[in-house]
Amino acid sequence: MLITLDPSLHKPLYVQIHDQLRERIISGALAAGDRLEPTRELAKRLGVHRTTVSNAYADLHAEGLIQGTVGRGTFVSPLAAELLTSGPPRRRPINDFYWDSFFPPDSQDDSLSRLMASASEPGMISFAATHGSPELSPVDLVRRALDAALRREGAKLLQYGSSDGYPPLKRYLQARLERDGIAVDLDELLITSGCQQSLDLLHRTLVAPGDVVVCENPTYTGRWHVFESPGIRLLGVPVGAEGMDLDSLEALLSQNKVKLILASPTFQNPTGRTMPLAARQRLLELATRAQVPIAEDDIYGALRYRGRELPPLKALDTSGLVIHLNSFSKVGFAGLRVGYVVASRRVIERLREAKQQADLHTNLLGQAVLEEFGRRGWLDKLIRRAKYLYSHKLDVLCRSAEQFLHSVAKWDIPEGGMSIWVELPAGLDAGELLVKARDRGVIFAPARYFYFQNPHHNAFRLCFTTPTDEQIEKGVRILGELLKEEISKLPPGRKPAPAGSGVALV
């Protein structure tokens, strides 16, 4: 199809495309049944955005001149000639084709998410998600806490609340943070609907098209999904034995005007790695020198089972550049959707405005539950229980891995968090393994899921908090058998030397 676009005309490009195609149908150059060029190809050839072509096609479709469906192609309608000679254009009911002009086909591969969603199938052993253990769920205490909170000020909890957060919860968190070495004023603290929303609010307020954002690679999938938006350049920093690789970060900072660093210094998801104190101090120094704020995700921070407690970046922050994100979702309260952000007053102001636009405020029942738990001392007890239980489960996982994976994989033992990171011999693809493992009743999260750049394929994350002890042992045994079978199919040079635990991976 010969179509010529003139950007200098006061006529939108999609209308120019539409009009020229319509002309060709009128002239008979395009006849009933003729196939139109696919939108993607035509857009590429004309050097325009695909939506522009889709809009033109949608208009022709609405006029009844063309028809077709996604996948099959688009054709000149058998009735086109008739329609063109019989009065005003006809309008048809909207179909999926119509919405294509709004939603270009999604290029994102969500087959992994679908596989991991098998977790709810009966009998499935799931190492896939960093969910809490049902054994830990504080249902009875939540019932008591809600009952007390509703008796005390139920009408207030059912009414609209403040975008800033439920004041009693803010005061409780302020005291708790001070205990943990983070002294904040109340206007430096914002309640959000969980850490995912905190990330989304940061994205909305701190970055704009053209900005560069630096993030660990691999990282939590929900994090890079938020920041991988049009016009943002997301640059990855490799994760080593001591967390985010700081030499790489320093190089990135010197070569780019970076707007924001996303960091998970403690039990980084998915690798489980933790930055030692000296690394934390160097990270802060690099960020301060480059004057780049750091968004610190500390969602696993409370779940330390061994080793020395380390201060969050925010507790070491003298420059005011650290934005601290946290929640209690990993210690039994995921369903409440309550989290918080600690940052400079100016940052909190903007986040609060964005929060008001996003969802007015965080649900008040969830905030009231947390405040009751905190004030009554139940929160700390719950965290102690979680640490005790998860520490035990990590031991079970490590023993099982020693027994069934020692000759076929490498991993290191994290000091906390909810998962271990298992590295496989080169040549194995954890995504393909997942398909086979699922057939045997075991699922996990393959490495590819966590990389926004240079994906590694031969690794996966095993989350140990949801399966029972027996499921952990059985699941790891099945994985070990599967890995042995798969490795036996590899060419001889690829086969791994026996490894075992405690091996640094990077």
Cα distance between residue 193 and residue 366, in whole Å:
9
Confirm or reject binding of residue 333 to its own copies (CB under 8 A): yes
Confirm or reject binding of residue 222 to its own copies (CB under 8 A): yes
480 backbone dihedrals φ, ψ, rounded to 5°: -60, -45
Cα distance between residue 15 and residue 24, in whole Å:
14
From the CB of residue 489, how many other CB atoms can be counted at a distance below 10 Å?
9
Query: Are the C-beta atoms of residues 422 and 405 closer than 8 Å to each other?
Result: yes
Cα distance between residue 351 and residue 22, in whole Å:
49
Residue 334 per-residue DSSP state: G
H or E, element range at 422 = strand 419-423
Site string for its own copies, 244-263 (x = CB under 8 A): -------------x-x----
Residue 356 beta carbon to its own copies: minimum distance, rounded to whole angstroms: 7
Q: Which of residues 176-205 bind its own copies (CB under 8 A)?
A: 193-194, 196-197, 200, 205
Query: Are the C-beta atoms of residues 248 and 237 closer than 8 Å to each other?
Result: yes
Confirm or reject binding of residue 93 to its own copies (CB under 8 A): yes
Q: Which of residues 144-163 bind its own copies (CB under 8 A)?
A: 146-147, 150-151, 154-161
Query: Are the C-beta atoms of residues 184 and 342 closer than 8 Å to each other?
Result: yes
Residue 194 beta carbon to its own copies: minimum distance, rounded to whole angstroms: 6
Q: What is the total count of residues that contact its own copies (CB under 8 A)?
A: 85
Confirm or reject binding of residue 318 to its own copies (CB under 8 A): yes
Confirm or reject binding of residue 347 to its own copies (CB under 8 A): yes
Q: Which of residues 368-407 bind its own copies (CB under 8 A)?
A: 369
Confirm or reject binding of residue 225 to its own copies (CB under 8 A): yes
Residue 120 per-residue DSSP state: G
Confirm or reject binding of residue 143 to its own copies (CB under 8 A): yes
Residue 234 beta carbon to its own copies: minimum distance, rounded to whole angstroms: 14
Q: Is 477 helix (H, G, I), strand (E, B) or coil?
A: helix
Site string for its own copies, 262-291 (x = CB under 8 A): --------------------------xx-x
Q: Which of residues 5-24 bind its own copies (CB under 8 A)?
A: 12, 14-15
Query: Are the C-beta atoms of residues 125 and 474 closer than 8 Å to each other?
Result: yes
Q: Of the candidates 504, 484, 506, which has an alpha carbon nearest to the alpha carbon of residue 495?
A: 484
Cis link prior to 218 (omega < 30° from 0)?
A: yes
Taking CB under 8 A as the binding criterion, the range among 54-62, 75-83, 305-313, 472-480 that sits at the site for its own copies is 54-62
Q: Which of 17, 128, 184, 206 binds its own copies (CB under 8 A)?
A: 206
Pick between residue 20 and residue 319 the one whose CB is nearest to its own copies. 319
Q: Which of residues 472-491 bind its own copies (CB under 8 A)?
A: none
Taking CB under 8 A as the binding criterion, the range among 32-40, 52-60, 181-189, 306-314 that sits at the site for its own copies is 52-60
Q: Which of 315, 365, 389, 505 binds its own copies (CB under 8 A)?
A: 365
Q: Of the candidates 297, 376, 304, 375, which has an alpha carbon nearest to the alpha carbon of residue 339?
A: 297
Residue 260 per-residue DSSP state: E
Confirm or reject binding of residue 55 to its own copies (CB under 8 A): yes
